[in-house]
């Protein structure tokens, strides 16, 4: 139902308390956001990734690498990060540091320090830097606290502070647009992502996404360049799980099942004889993976489906995952988000449809192989 401007004016004229309430809300928000910025700005940093010409062919920034004195490093990328604790740990995105040989961290007050990479996880796109001792002694470190991203709701306000295009300490605001998004990046599916309409761009990566209480509910990661209102953040619950391992071990053990598949569409359901277009049909099972050991099958290539006049890479006798433990699997997101919440060594029960029969297959999840 459309509400006209005249209707709105009528409501305000005949219900002045509505106008007063609206004005009060705007005033509260106008005062709240500056307070939020003042509370958190000193915790957000500008990260400059540099390449030392001597090490141009070394590849990505190695754990423990710090600046070299042999020649002047050249800045190649800028991003954002935030103070995690009083020990000088800085959280950012892995891709902000990728390809560099040294890194500088600059605070909002203008102080700049060198830092070293102590932990990285390309799969979650998270990394931890350690400030040099001079920063820990001289800089007033104000850690940001992590919120509970599992409590987020669509429509909730969110605020990003970072360094878009190098403009230091920029605040932008919007809402949570969607939760548990699945985003493919470089062949890796990022699960449980927070979709936001908060304006972000290059340089925001690695910066905090905050609720109105100043808690970190996510880490700004990426956006779709062709659509300005679709941006994404790594949820705080994922950060809380990954970062302690990066600090203590330098790496994180990502969980792994070992299958690739696609959502069952009405056309696929019709071709394989399903009554409903639900589930994930298996396209490939990695040899010696947990799914392979559990007996998950991708079917026989002789039974390949032809969809829309071309080879679909789907076999008509492939397993269709319709459940995991007590959760229904309607699409890939259900499966990937659930697996992402588990740890290596956990056992899951996959409910699959095979040749119209329902089977329960038990798999013990393992650590994702590197590379």
Provide the pLDDT for residue 1.
Answer: 37
- State the pTM of this model: 0.83
Give the Cα separation of 16 and 27 in Å (integer): 17
User: Between 310 and 237, whose confidence is greater?
Assistant: 237
- Domain 149-249 and domain 255-367 have a common topology: no
Indicate the pLDDT class of residue 29, thresholds 50, 70 and 90. low
Statement: residue 222 has pLDDT above 80: no
Yes or no: say if 203 and 79 are a contact pair by the CB < 8 Å rule.
yes
Q: Identify the weakest region by mean pLDDT among 11-15, 238-242, 281-285.
A: 11-15
Give the Cα separation of 340 and 111 in Å (integer): 38
Indicate the pLDDT class of residue 4, thresholds 50, 70 and 90. very low
Q: Using a pLDDT cut of 90, give the percent of the chain over it.
A: 64
Statement: residue 5 has pLDDT above 70: no
In order, the DSSP letters of 127-179 are EEEEE-HHHHHHS---PPPB--GGG--TT-EEEEEE-GGG-TTEEEEEEEEEE
Read off the pLDDT of each residue in 40-58 and give the average, rounded to a whole number.
82
Give the Cα separation of 105 and 26 in Å (integer): 36
Statement: residue 116 has pLDDT above 70: yes
Just list the catalytic residues. Answer: 95, 125, 205
Q: What is the pLDDT of residues 308-318, one digit of tens each?
A: 767 778 999 99
Provide the pLDDT for residue 166.
Answer: 84
Provide the pLDDT for residue 9.
Answer: 37
Yes or no: say if 274 and 325 are a contact pair by the CB < 8 Å rule.
no
**Does 2.40.10.10 match the CATH number of domain 42-138?**
yes
In order, the DSSP letters of 21-78 are HHHHHHHHHHHHHHHHHHHHGGGEEEEEEEE-GGGTTS-SPPTT----SSS--EEEEE
- Name the helix (H) or strand (E) containing 239: helix 236-249
Q: Using a pLDDT cut of 70, give the percent of the chain over it.
A: 84
Q: Identify the weakest region by mean pLDDT among 251-255, 297-301, 310-314.
A: 310-314
Yes or no: say if 185 and 198 are a contact pair by the CB < 8 Å rule.
no
Statement: residue 142 has pLDDT above 80: yes
Give the Cα separation of 253 and 343 in Å (integer): 8
Provide the pLDDT for residue 198.
Answer: 92
Statement: residue 220 has pLDDT above 60: yes
Closest CA to 172 of 36, 20, 328, 7: 36
Provide the pLDDT for residue 59.
Answer: 52
Place of tokens 């038990």: 362
Mean pLDDT estimate for the chain = 86
Provide the pLDDT for residue 56.
Answer: 56
CATH of the domain spanning 149-249, picked from 2.40.10.10, 3.20.20.70, 3.40.30.10, 3.40.50.1980: 2.40.10.10
Provide the pLDDT for residue 13.
Answer: 45
Read off the pLDDT of each residue in 114-128 and give the average, rounded to a whole number.
94
Domain chopping of the chain, boundaries = 42-138, 149-249, 255-367
User: Between 168 and 20, whose confidence is greater?
Assistant: 168
Provide the pLDDT for residue 189.
Answer: 80
CATH of the domain spanning 255-367, picked from 1.10.10.10, 2.30.42.10, 2.30.30.830, 2.60.40.10: 2.30.42.10
């Amino acid at each position: 139902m459309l509400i006209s401007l005249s209707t709105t004016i009528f409501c305000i004229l005949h219900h002045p308390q509505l106008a007063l309430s609206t004005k009060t809300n705007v005033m509260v928000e106008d005062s709240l956001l500056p307070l939020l910025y003042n509370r958190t700005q000193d915790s957000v940093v500008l990260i400059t990734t540099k390449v030392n010409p001597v090490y141009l062919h070394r590849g990505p920034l190695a754990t423990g690498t710090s600046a070299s004195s042999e020649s002047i490093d050249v800045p190649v990328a800028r991003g954002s990060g935030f103070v995690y604790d009083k020990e000088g740990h800085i959280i950012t995105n892995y891709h902000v540091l990728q390809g560099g040989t040294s890194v500088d961290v600059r605070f909002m007050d203008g102080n700049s320090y060198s830092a070293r990479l102590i932990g990285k996880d390309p799969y979650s796109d998270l990394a931890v830097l350690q400030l040099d001792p001079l920063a820990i002694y001289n800089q007033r470190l104000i850690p940001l606290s992590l919120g509970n991203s599992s409590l987020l709701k669509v429509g909730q306000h969110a605020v990003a502070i970072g360094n878009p295009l190098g403009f230091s300490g920029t605040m932008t605001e919007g809402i949570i647009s969607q939760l548990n998004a699945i985003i493919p990046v470089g062949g890796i599916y990022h699960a449980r992502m927070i979709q936001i309409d908060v304006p972000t761009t290059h340089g925001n990566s690695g910066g905090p996404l905050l609720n109105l209480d100043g808690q970190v509910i996510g880490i700004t990661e990426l956006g779709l360049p062709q659509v300005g209102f679709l941006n994404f953040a790594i949820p705080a619950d994922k950060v809380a799980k990954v970062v302690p391992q990066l600090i203590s071990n330098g790496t994180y053990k990502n969980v792994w099942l070992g299958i690739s598949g696609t959502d069952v569409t009405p056309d696929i359901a019709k071709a394989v004889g399903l009554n409903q277009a639900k589930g994930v049909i298996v396209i490939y099972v990695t040899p010696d993976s947990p799914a392979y050991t559990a007996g998950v099958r991708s079917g026989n290539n002789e039974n390949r489906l032809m969809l829309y006049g071309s080879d679909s890479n789907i076999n008509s006798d492939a397993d269709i995952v319709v459940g995991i433990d007590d959760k229904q699997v309607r699409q890939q997101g259900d499966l990937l988000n659930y697996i992402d919440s588990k740890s290596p060594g956990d056992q899951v029960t996959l409910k699959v449809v095979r040749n119209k029969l329902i089977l329960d297959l038990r798999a013990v999840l393992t650590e994702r192989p590197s590379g």
